[in-house]
Amino acid sequence: MVLDLLSRFFARDLAVDLGTSNTRVVARGEGVIIDEPSIVAVRAAGAALVAVGTPAKAMLGRAPHAISVIRPLKDGVIADLGMAQTMLHAFIARAHGRETTRMRSRVVLAVPSGITQVERRAVRESVLGAGAREVYLVAEPVAAALGAGLPIDEAGGNIIVTVGGGTTEVATLSLSGVVHCESRRAAGDEMDEAITQYVRKHHGLLIGDRQAEMVKLALGSACPVDDESRKVAVKGRDLVSGFPKTITVTEEEVREALREPVAAIVETVRACLERTPPELAADIVENGIVMSGGGALLRGLDHLVKLETGLQVAVAEHPLTCAARGAGRMLDELTLLKKVAMPS
């Protein structure tokens, strides 16, 4: 009993947002302490860990055959369970630093809503193996809504749109639960792929993931937001000559490239609204829609959703870290945590 009380007092409780693009770790009372890409680099022979997070991302498209660079999550689900466990173990160990204490912490893990029971069990065991005393899994839309400041425990309808790296999830929440959730593979990774294909088709240039992401961040938009015409230089390999080449793409071209994934995001919002019970729909008319995730920062996306739905749309104050911050808040609200936690 005494040891348990001491562990609860001294342990560094953590909240982890296991995202397709980035994994973020929040320490209780400290805020976000880790925010790095969900990427692992291992040696092909023996699968020895080489790097995790930012150093691993720098190896994308540049590593020799002896090193495999892996993204454990794809399209909002765990694609490589073993590598996901390795990555989680590394990030949690880093969060604890050089602490030699044997006190074990509580961990809240925000996971994709489509996670299977087998994956839940494996991820929970991995976190326990990394030094956790207790592990609670919560659906990412719930954590994001709490991080955005929505009163999810009240008897009123709130809708959260989370545009992440692998999926867009739109959830209607009430009384600490998900009333309805729509998920679609139309998010950051799909946007990067659309840009890659557009540049290949219209400019005969083959570009990598990092270049596509750079173009999205610099020029990406869902609809025209001003009269400024932006351009950016893109580097890749010419498909005809095979030589390195630099071209210039415009904001209008990138908007055309993103037309289909953006339309899919809007359609996902519409589908969730159509399946929301009438009483909660009335609440949403008053409360509007809140957007979170990195994709919520796409210029003009909130304005387009507003035009298509006729509802007020707001982007959360910290869209990139909403889910992590929401999971972190649950460390201080154990009653709420036990209500929203996924079953073992």
pLDDT value of residue 1 = 45
pLDDT value of residue 8 = 46
pLDDT value of residue 11 = 65
3-class DSSP string for 135-195: EEEEEHHHHHHHHCCCCCCCCCCEEEEEECCCCEEEEEEECCEEEEEEEECCCHHHHHHHH
User: Domain containing 297: what range?
Assistant: 144-186+260-321
- Partnered with residue 27 across adjacent β-strands are 14, 31
**Quick one: 234 and 281 in the same domain?**
no
pLDDT value of residue 102 = 47
Q: How many domains does the chain have?
A: 3
Cβ neighbour number for residue 174 with a 10 Å cutoff: 21
Please report which helix (H) or strand (E) contains residue 232, including its range.
strand 231-238
**Quick one: 111 and 74 in the same domain?**
yes
Q: What is the pLDDT along the chain (344 residues), one digit of tens a residue?
A: 444 444 444 468 999 998 889 999 999 989 999 999 999 999 976 678 999 999 999 998 888 989 999 999 887 778 888 888 889 889 988 887 754 444 478 999 998 777 888 888 888 887 887 778 899 999 999 999 999 999 988 888 999 999 999 889 999 999 988 899 998 988 999 999 999 999 999 999 999 999 999 999 999 999 988 878 899 999 999 999 999 999 999 999 999 999 999 999 999 999 999 999 999 999 999 999 999 999 999 999 999 999 999 999 999 999 999 999 999 999 999 888 988 998 87
Q: 169 phi and psi, to 5 degrees? A: -115, 130
pLDDT value of residue 62 = 87
Global model pTM greater than 0.85: yes
Structure tokens at 197: 């294909």
What residue spans of the chain are helical by DSSP H? Answer: 2-10, 54-57, 81-96, 117-129, 140-147, 188-203, 209-219, 251-257, 259-274, 278-287, 301-309, 322-330, 334-340
**Quick one: 62 and 90 in the same domain?**
yes
The answer to whether 108 and 336 are in contact (CB under 8 A) is no
Report the CATH number that the domain containing residue 199 is assigned in CATH: 3.90.640.10
**Quick one: 267 and 182 in the same domain?**
yes
**Quick one: 169 and 56 in the same domain?**
no
**Quick one: 44 and 98 in the same domain?**
yes
**Quick one: 164 and 220 in the same domain?**
no
Report the CATH number that the domain containing residue 167 is assigned in CATH: 3.30.420.40
pLDDT value of residue 334 = 87
DSSP string, 249-276: EEHHHHHHHTHHHHHHHHHHHHHHHHTS
pLDDT value of residue 92 = 86
**Quick one: 61 and 125 in the same domain?**
yes
**Quick one: 170 and 281 in the same domain?**
yes
**Quick one: 153 and 277 in the same domain?**
yes
**Quick one: 165 and 237 in the same domain?**
no
**Quick one: 172 and 228 in the same domain?**
no
pLDDT value of residue 55 = 95
